Copies of this chain bind each other. A is one copy, B any other.
Amino acid sequence: MTDIEMMRIAQLKHTINLQADKVDARLNELLSRHGPFGVGNSVVADAMRYSILNGGKRIRPFLCLEFAKACGGNEDIALDFACAVEMIHTYSLIHDDLPCMDNDDMRRGKPSCHKAFGEANALLAGDSLLTKAFNVISSIDCSSNIQVSAINCLSELSGIKGMIGGQVFDLQFENSNPTVNEVLSMYKLKTGCLLVASCVLGSLSYENCSSKSRQSASDYAMNLGLAFQIQDDILDIISDEITLGKPVGSDEKNDKSTIVKFYGLEKAKEMVNEYTQKAIDALDGIDGDTTTLKEFALYMANRTY
């Protein structure tokens, strides 16, 4: 890697961290609004904050804010959209970790929500965050048209035709032998759809967002999501446990249907590069500066953890 490339990556990481700080501050505000009310101090309110204010990288909010910038959108609106998306993401992790789903005791190096607060409280914390996401968007002081478009997009892409649909397939695949196309469909739903929501909501923060911009945001996000998931499959094989922060080879051990299992490592790497290039090409549809979004796609394709 050249010095210039290393500088650019350092700059990108700096930008991601700055955006994450903004998002954390706003999430903190949005979730302490419960304060004056009795349940605001309840264990469920604590569980919501515990799970969402966990030092996450805020990739989805970052994408939302960057698309707002690139499309000339309103930063305040985009920030609340970004927080809503992160609430949806967090609720899905809380519910995924429950014993009846993946039964994960740990999440980002800390006890998962139900381990820390009990199952009933974790269930309700997830439900509350899901509900709060739509409350946040509908509370923004802006044009109602923007709000309805954003809520329609987010509810569609996070529902049974989107993110939850991905979970449904994931459950089904445990007892079947999916085809490679079925696995790719599952990746699109499970990971791609919420990334699409993040990027599209960013573009929607510009009231006169063209359908071309919206489509570009969607294409970028979906290809980024596929590249991300396949890179995950690859890292599960080649990374070492310390770098990855979780046991390697767990997919193989669980006999999970991954792209690497279908095609092998080399072809999987090619696919990551192809989807990344498609994501970058999609940015041509955006009039503003998309340098950071391009660099981000390349950075994700080359990540080692």
* B-chain residues with CB within 8 Å of residue A43 when the two chains form the complex: 168, 172
Task: Decide if A216 is an interface residue (CB 8 Å cutoff).
Answer: no
Inter-subunit contact A152/B135 (CB<8 Å)? yes
With CB as the reference atom, state the residue of chain B lying closest to A146.
B144
The residues in A between 54 and 78 inclusive whose CB is less than 8 angstroms from any CB of B are none
Stretch at the interface among A4-12, A93-101, A260-268, A269-277: A93-101
Tell me whether A164 and B128 are in contact (CB under 8 A): yes
Determine, out of A154-162, A280-288, A290-298, the stretch whose residues face the partner at the interface: A154-162
CB pair A168–B134 under 8 Å, yes or no, is no
A115 interface residue per 8 A CB criterion: no
* Interface locus among A31-39, A227-235, A236-244: A31-39
Complex interface: chain B residues within 8 A of A169 (CB): 38-39, 42
Residues of B within 8 A of A118 (CB): 100
State how many copies of this chain the complex holds. Answer: 2
* Most chain B beta-carbon neighbours within 10 Å: one of A98, A148, A160: A160
Give the interface segment out of A18-26, A119-127, A217-225: A119-127
> A301 at interface (Cβ–Cβ under 8 A)?
no
Q: Determine if A100 and B127 form an interchain contact, defined as CB atoms under 8 angstroms apart.
A: no
Residues from chain B with a CB closer than 8 A to the CB of A137 are 151
Contact of A45 among B42, B45, B160 (CB under 8 A): B160
Chain B hits for A161, CB < 8 A: 34, 37, 39-40
A123 to chain B, nearest CB (A): 6
* Given A39-B169, A121-B171, A148-B147, A156:B135 Cβ within 8 A: yes
| Chain A interface extent, by class | 35 or more
Q: Which of B98, B131, B138, B152 contacts A130 (CB under 8 A)? A: B131
The answer, yes or no, to whether A215 is at the interface (CB within 8 Å) is no
- List the B residue with the shortest CB-CB distance to A163: B131
A39 contacts B148, C-beta separation under 8 Å: no
Output the least CB separation between A104 and chain B (Å): 13
Report B-chain residues with C-beta under 8 Å of the C-beta of A147: 144, 148, 151
* A151 interface neighbour in B134, B159, B165, Cβ under 8 Å: B134
Q: Does A204 contact B (CB under 8 A)?
A: no
Cβ of A176 within 8 Å of any chain B Cβ, yes or no, is: no
Selected A-B contacts with CB under 8 Å, 30 pairs: A34-B161, A37-B165, A39-B165, A39-B168, A40-B160, A40-B161, A42-B169, A44-B164, A45-B160, A48-B160, A95-B124, A95-B127, A98-B100, A100-B118, A100-B119, A101-B120, A120-B171, A123-B123, A127-B130, A127-B164, A128-B164, A130-B131, A131-B159, A132-B160, A134-B134, A135-B151, A135-B159, A144-B144, A144-B148, A147-B148
- A interface residue numbers (CB < 8 A to B): 34, 37-40, 42-45, 48, 91, 95, 98, 100-101, 118-121, 123-124, 126-128, 130-132, 134-135, 137-139, 143-145, 147-148, 151-152, 155-156, 158-161, 164-165, 167-169, 171-172, 185, 189
